[in-house]
Amino acid sequence: MLTIENLRKLFNGRNVLDGVNLSVRTGEAVALIGPSGSGKTTLIRTINGFVVPDSGKVLVGGKVINYSNKESLRQMRKKIGMIYQLFNLVERISVLDNVMTGALGRLDKGIDLISSTLGIFNKKEREKAMELLKFVGIEDKAFERVDRLSGGQKQRVAIARALMQDPEVLLADEPIANLDPKTSRKILELLLKINMEKDITIICVLHHLDTVKDNFNRVVALKNGRVCFDEETNRLSKKHIHNIYEFEEETEYLVA
Query: Does one domain contain both 101 and 171?
Result: no
CATH number at residue 33: 3.40.50.300
The arithmetic mean of pLDDT across residues 13-24, rounded, is 94
What is the separation of C-alpha 234 from the centre of its chain, rounded to a whole number of angstroms? Answer: 23
Cα separations in angstroms, 20 against 35, 174, 214: 16, 20, 26
- Give the pLDDT score at 256: 37
- Cβ pair 162, 81 in contact under 8 A: yes
The Cα–Cα gap between 205 and 32 comes to 5
The reported pLDDT for the residue numbered 180 is 94
Domain ends where: 131, 164, 197?
164
Range with lowest mean pLDDT among 107-111, 153-157, 204-208, 213-217:
107-111
Query: Which range of residues forms the domain containing residue 201?
Result: 1-79+167-256
How far is CA 165 from its chain centroid?
A: 13
Cα angle 54, 67, 221 (rounded to 5 degrees) comes to: 55
Given a cut of 90, whether residue 255 has pLDDT beyond it is no
pLDDT (tens digit per residue) in 42-81: 999 999 999 999 999 999 988 899 999 988 888 888 899 9
Alpha helix positions (H), the chain = 40-47, 70-77, 95-100, 111-117, 123-135, 151-163, 181-198, 209-215, 238-245
- Per-residue confidence at 254, pLDDT binned at 50, 70, 90? very low
pTM, rounded to two decimals: 0.88
For residues 20 and 143, state if they share a domain.
Answer: no
β-partners of residue 2 are 24, 60
**Arithmetic mean of pLDDT over the chain:** 89
Are residues 64 and 171 part of one domain?
Answer: yes
Q: What is the pLDDT of residues 83-122, one digit of tens each?
A: 999 999 999 999 999 999 988 766 654 434 434 444 567 8
Last residue of a domain, which of 164, 183, 213? 164
Say whether both 75 and 194 belong to one domain: yes
Distances (CA, A) of 218 to 25, 118, 163, 232, 253: 11, 42, 23, 4, 16
> With contact defined as beta carbons under 8 Å apart, do 169 and 79 qualify?
yes
Buried b / exposed e over 65-88, threshold 16 CB at 10 Å, is beeeeeeeeeebbebbbbbbbebe
pLDDT for res 73: 85
Query: Residue 65 in contact with residue 78, Cβ under 8 Å?
Result: no
Question: Are 115 and 66 contained in the same domain?
Answer: no
Indicate if the pLDDT at residue 208 is higher than 50: yes
The predicted pLDDT at position 110 comes to 44
DSSP string of 93-137, one letter each residue: SBHHHHHHGGGGGT--SSHHHHHHHTT---HHHHHHHHHHHHHTT
Percent of the chain with pLDDT over 70: 90
Q: How many domains does the chain have?
A: 2
